[in-house]
A and B are shown apart, each in its own frame.
Chain A
């Protein structure tokens, strides 16, 4: 039996080149489905992994109560001062509490090759702002000098927006700001522009106001004590969140649109591909009518015939799936694009074609091949030997 199956499958696979045109339909159809599926979900994956990598679990964010997002929050210097004295805060080498009071403004700059402006986050950070982001590395130029209108630009923002290169000057709120450095961090901050908090407060006319205070804790467990101390203080109305969790919570909403689009498109395309596969496999069975009938006449049972058709369909599907995944990888993996992230600003990310996505794409291809092969295979096995021999 096994030998029968093997022989007949081999016989059939060898004859695929004779039906090249029709076989191509399955391959191209499934390559299309898998390619589009992989590309769209690589985008969603890129957004999620950028956000998940953001924030340090040792950091706590202090925002005004009920503000939900950094941008909505706002508080005065007093709140910031109280955060620096709360329990659980780590000390710097110089013995000062590691807290960065940060002001966020949204600046509208043109993206490369576009005329309409897009929003980018401009973050004024405190003395320890960089130290509290250990994954951040300056790859070109230097840090801004406090007091001067200088900018340290994230790599992603530098790639996406016009004029954010070292030495260049951009105009914001009637003043010139010079880009003095570029940093890499592999997370959401790469989409931002950093400057000195006090300078930003002056330039935007918000002296002593902050959006968020970022506090480095001695260990993540200290956040309870830290939160308890701040929320118990009657002078304050604040909420305290773990910085890593703050960004992880954004993953779902930002990538949701792409995931919905990807799922809808993949389902409709997969349906189309199933019809195409059915068409090809019915044609393949009908082209082999005489061959199959002869095999049945000399004593082969129905199952090897079914197997041969199924193997053909799944093999073609797999080839299509591989081609689709390769195309998606070659054209899209690592491609840098940006979309509207949390807080009305651009989030820059890279497409990520991950192994799980490829495996899932292959499973999708095999499923289409399976459904597309099943009914034609059953028809082939049920063929009336005598009629089939005469008809051919």
Chain B
């Protein structure tokens, strides 16, 4: 620590160069933070999702609705505590804005999704109002909805009995998430399945996908296999997986985000390696006489090596910290402005840890060669300018 002033002043020996190198490093770590946050988000799926819940979808694909008559059969299976069902409504707000509207049973929804918080009065109103709809806090705030309001929502899939696609619901409640990450997900709406089943032209036979809550989350695999085995070779073969895998599978369909991100980051870090490496090498080359003076004063080879290495480390560390802070600000901004895509993307501990590793690796790669060279400087040759 007593050498800190020495390191600090040699770092800023050439101000312009130090600033420019630092700015490039900041750019590199800004990109690292942004891209890695995306990559971690996509590869981990939504990590916060309750692992104790299973999603039962049609084997063909999740867009095929499973019939409602499967509900009691699944409910009766050992290990199953509660079941609800989400039917995608194809909701459209205004001209063309997609809404995440699902038809569910109010009582079953409340039991299977304890993550949604709403007052007892609102739950009761949802249960008792046939044309009721409840909206997530973020969905409601984004459009200025208030409880008691009528919401005209079109469906791009389901006509009403009279053939019209224009539905109208009464907003009876606004639900919150149990914690910050669930709050970020309050983008959806639920309508009353009973009314939906009666009023739509295609009949009441379908349920969508089933959400299954288990007695014991440890039994998830066994119950999932049992459900799939039960419906094997029926016209409604199922695919049962944890809610986490279900979400992960959905994101995986967008493409191999992880691979794209890695390729970009390789290009970025290769560039920054050449740049910073060159700067450090140059800095040491210019200072050879000074290093010789240090050694004359009694600094050992090892200390001189360490001084140069720490200089590289300090440079990379400042760049990494500032870059990552900028990335965090940028992502928080994105999450607030475009919640449907970036709501849960964060520069979390994993991302910071990865940035730390990248920083150490970079500092060693650019600092070690000139540091070793500095340690090997011969006093006599250096002072003689050879």
Interface residues of A (CB under 8 A from B): 21-22, 24-25, 28-29, 31-32, 35-36, 39-40, 64-69, 71-72, 74, 105-108, 114, 116-119, 172-174, 204-205, 237, 257, 264-265, 268-269, 271-273, 275-276, 278-279, 282-283, 337-340, 344, 346
Sample 15 A-B pairs with CB under 8 A, ordered by A number.
Answer: A36-B267, A68-B92, A74-B157, A105-B61, A118-B252, A119-B253, A173-B235, A205-B235, A268-B27, A268-B30, A269-B267, A271-B27, A272-B27, A278-B20, A283-B282
Contact: A279 with B24, CB < 8 Å?
yes
**What residues of chain A lie closer than 8 Å to B24, measured between beta carbons?**
272-273, 275-276, 279
Q: What does the 1/0 interface line of B218-244 toward A look like (CB < 8 Å)?
A: 000000000000001111010100000
13 new A-B contacts at CB < 8 Å, known A36-B267, A205-B235, A269-B267: A21-B282, A22-B278, A36-B264, A64-B159, A66-B165, A68-B156, A74-B202, A108-B59, A116-B252, A118-B252, A279-B17, A279-B275, A344-B61
Contact: B282 with A67, CB < 8 Å?
no
**Residues in B1-54 with C-beta less than 8 Å from chain A:** 16-17, 20-21, 23-24, 27-28, 30-31, 34-35
**What residues of chain B lie closer than 8 Å to A338, measured between beta carbons?**
255
Contact: A272 with B272, CB < 8 Å?
yes
Q: Is B90 an interface residue (CB 8 A)?
A: yes
**What residues of chain A lie closer than 8 Å to B361, measured between beta carbons?**
none
- 5 tightest Cβ-Cβ pairs between the two chains A and B: A272-B27, A66-B165, A108-B61, A106-B61, A32-B271
- A268 touches which one: B21, B31, B62, B263 (CB < 8 A)? B31
Q: Which residue of B lies closest to A331 (CB)?
A: B263
- B275 touches which one: A25, A65, A268 (CB < 8 A)? A25
If A28-B274, A116-B245, A265-B264 touch, does A272 touch B28 (CB 8 Å cutoff)? Answer: yes
Q: How far is the CB of A241 from chain B (nearest CB, A)?
A: 14
**What residues of chain A lie closer than 8 Å to B64, measured between beta carbons?**
105-106, 204
If A108-B59, A119-B253, A205-B235 touch, does A72 touch B156 (CB 8 Å cutoff)? Answer: yes
Most buried by B among A69, A108, A173, A279: A279
**Chain B contact residues (Cβ within 8 angstroms of A): what range?**
35 or more
Q: How far is the CB of B367 from chain A (nearest CB, A)?
A: 16
Contact: B268 with A269, CB < 8 Å?
yes
Tell me, in angstroms, the Cα distance from A32 to B64 when the chains sit together.
44
**What residues of chain B lie closer than 8 Å to A74, measured between beta carbons?**
157, 202
Q: Is B248 an interface residue (CB 8 A)?
A: yes
**What residues of chain A lie closer than 8 Å to B85, measured between beta carbons?**
none
Q: How far is the CB of B16 from chain A (nearest CB, A)?
A: 6
Tell me, in angstroms, the Cα distance from A65 to B166 when the chains sit together.
11
Tell me, in angstroms, the Cα distance from A209 to B276 when the chains sit together.
65
- A279 touches which one: B21, B154, B239, B256 (CB < 8 A)? B21
**What residues of chain B lie closer than 8 Å to A337, measured between beta carbons?**
255-256
- B60 touches which one: A31, A40, A67, A106 (CB < 8 A)? A106
Q: How far is the CB of A247 from chain B (nearest CB, A)?
A: 17
Tell me, in angstroms, the Cα distance from A282 to B17 when the chains sit together.
8
Most buried by B among A65, A276, A278, A282: A276
Contact: B275 with A340, CB < 8 Å?
no
Q: Which residue of A lies closest to B165 (CB)?
A: A66
**What residues of chain A lie closer than 8 Å to B249, measured between beta carbons?**
116-117
Contact: B234 with A174, CB < 8 Å?
yes
If A108-B60, A275-B24, A340-B255 touch, does A72 touch B157 (CB 8 Å cutoff)? Answer: yes
Tell me, in angstroms, the Cα distance from A172 to B59 when the chains sit together.
8
**What residues of chain A lie closer than 8 Å to B156, measured between beta carbons?**
66-69, 72
- B253 touches which one: A105, A265, A346 (CB < 8 A)? A346
**What residues of chain B lie closer than 8 Å to A32, measured between beta carbons?**
267-268, 270-271
Q: How far is the CB of A164 from chain B (nearest CB, A)?
A: 15
Q: How far is the CB of A376 from chain B (nearest CB, A)?
A: 9
- A174 touches which one: B27, B159, B233, B254 (CB < 8 A)? B233
Q: How far is the CB of A388 from chain B (nearest CB, A)?
A: 17
Contact: A119 with B17, CB < 8 Å?
no
Contact: A35 with B281, CB < 8 Å?
no
